[in-house]
Amino acid sequence: MKTWSLHVILSLVALALGSCAFATPALAAVTVVASTTDLADIVKQVGGDRVTVYSVARPNQDLHMIEPRPSDVLRIKRAGLVVRIGMDLDQWLDALLNAAANAKVNRGGQGYVDASVGIQKLEVPREQITGASGDIHVYGNPHYWLDPLNGEIISANILAGLKRVSPADANYFERNRNAFLAALRSAMRRWQEKLSPYQGRKIVIYHDAWPYFVRRFNLKVLGCIEPKPGIPPTASHIASLIEQIKAEKQPVVIADAAYYPDKAAKSIAARTGAKFVVIPSSVGGERGADDFISLFEHIVDSLVRGFSDR
173-220 confidence digits (pLDDT tens) = 999 999 999 999 999 999 999 999 999 999 999 989 999 999 999 999
**CA–CA distance, 303 with 279 (Å, rounded to integer):** 8
Architecture per CATH, domain 6-186, reads as 3-Layer(aba) Sandwich (3.40)
pLDDT digits (tens, 9 = 90+) for 7-65: 555 454 444 444 444 444 444 589 999 999 999 999 999 999 999 999 999 988 888 88
For residue 130, what pLDDT band results from cuts at 50, 70 and 90? Answer: low
- Residue by residue, DSSP assigns 254-279 as EEE-TTS--HHHHHHHHHHTPEEEE-
Question: Which one is predicted more confidently, 6 or 147?
Answer: 147
In angstroms, rounded to a whole number, what is the distance separating the alpha carbons of residues 130 and 294?
Answer: 38
Average of per-residue pLDDT across 144-155: 98
Sheet containing 220-224: order of strands:
220-224, 202-205, 253-256, 275-278
110 neighbors 163 (Cβ within 8 angstroms): no
CATH 3.40.50.1980 domain position(s) in the chain: 6-186, 189-308
Cα→Cα distances 253→129, 179, 211, Å: 31, 34, 15
Q: Sorting pLDDT into bands at 50, 70 and 90, what band is 241? A: very high
Architecture of domain 189-308: 3-Layer(aba) Sandwich (3.40)
Q: Which amino acid is at 24?
A: T
Q: Measuring CA to CA, which residue among 307, 42, 111, 40 is closest to residue 196?
A: 307
